[in-house]
Amino acid sequence: MPCHDAVMTLRNQNIKKQAQPAQYLCALTAIVFAVFTHSPARAQPSSPAPATESACDPATNWQANLLCLNEKAVFVDIALQHSLKKLDDVMAPQQSAQLQHQQRQWLERRDKECTPTDRPASDSNALAYAMLCRSKMTMRRTALLESMQPAATPQKSSSERLCPKGSEASLGCLQKNRDLIENGVHMIYISTLLNLPELQADRLYTEQQDWEERREKSCQLNGYVHEKEDQVVCQTRMALERVKVFKSDWQPLTRKEARP
């Protein structure tokens, strides 16, 4: 399809950043796509995903760079729609409506932030910037949606979660309690995320990723955490602390306007 069809008509809006030289944008594109493709946030158990890669390389094929950027943007959009559908298939109607409302807010923000106004619509630098910007934001949004996927571990009945008397300190029992609390953290995360305006939800996603990395590092087996039981206790303690942060810092920020 023509390059102009891949980008919305440039509007008279302010933009925070100046368009970069097209050659630099194309070189940066290859790096951006590589980073997001191998991001841990995307490694979620799910149904087979559609192809999200294209063979072209805008960093080395300057003559066809706009077509190449457009091709990559199409694949990125396909991945986003796939993630949206997966969530819609498992969410309750009210949650699905909240997600669609937030998605519309995100689309509006993407159009605003990725529409340069300092160059004509036919300018190749402006077109390259717009497509790269839209692709970066789309990949980040897809990663956020993937973080909301249901936990891979199926829910257990209350009787299955109970530990036999006298075995509360055993590794198996500690792991059961940790899994139960982690599932609660994930449910609170999803609920809070859906009830926040889109930009605040994006910030919560960043904070959650940082917390998960920090917990992974803090609770790894080392000189301080040298027993498996200690590791599970560390993970449980940090999960409980995370619940407190949700309640004190994020849930008060939920607003009625975040709901449809």
Cβ atoms of 73 and 84 within 8 Å: the answer is no
Per-domain residue ranges of the chain: 59-149, 167-259
Cβ burial of 62 (10 Å; 0-12, 13-18, 19+) is: middle
59-149 and 167-259 have identical folds: yes
Element (H, E) at 195: none
- Cα–Cα distances in Å, from 8 out to 32, 34, 102, 112? 22, 25, 20, 10
Tens-level pLDDT at each residue, the chain (260 residues): 333 333 333 333 333 333 344 444 444 444 444 444 444 443 344 455 555 555 565 555 544 678 888 888 899 999 999 999 999 999 999 999 999 999 999 999 999 999 887 777 667 788 888 889 999 999 999 999 999 998 765 555 555 556 777 777 888 899 999 999 999 999 999 999 999 999 999 999 999 999 999 999 999 887 666 688 899 999 999 999 999 999 999 989 886 554 55
Specify burial of residue 51 (Cβ count, 10 A radius: 0-12, 13-18, 19+): exposed
Distance CA 44, CA 38 (A): 12
Fold of 59-149: Substrate Binding Domain Of Dnak; Chain:A; Domain 2 (1.20.1270)
- For residue 44, the model assigns a pLDDT of 43
How far, in Å, CA of 204 to CA of 224, rounded? Answer: 30
Burial 210-241, CB ≥16 within 10 A → b, else e: ebeeebeeebeeeeebeeeeebbbbbbebbee
Other beta carbons less than 10 A from residue 257's beta carbon: 9
Residue with tokens 């799910």: 46
The pLDDT of residue 68: 84
CB 124 within 8 A of CB 10: no
| CB-CB contact of 257 with 200 (8 Å) | no
Fold entry, domain 167-259: Substrate Binding Domain Of Dnak; Chain:A; Domain 2 (1.20.1270)
**Gap between the Cα atoms of 146 and 49, Å rounded:** 12
Do 80 and 180 touch, CB atoms closer than 8 A?
Answer: no
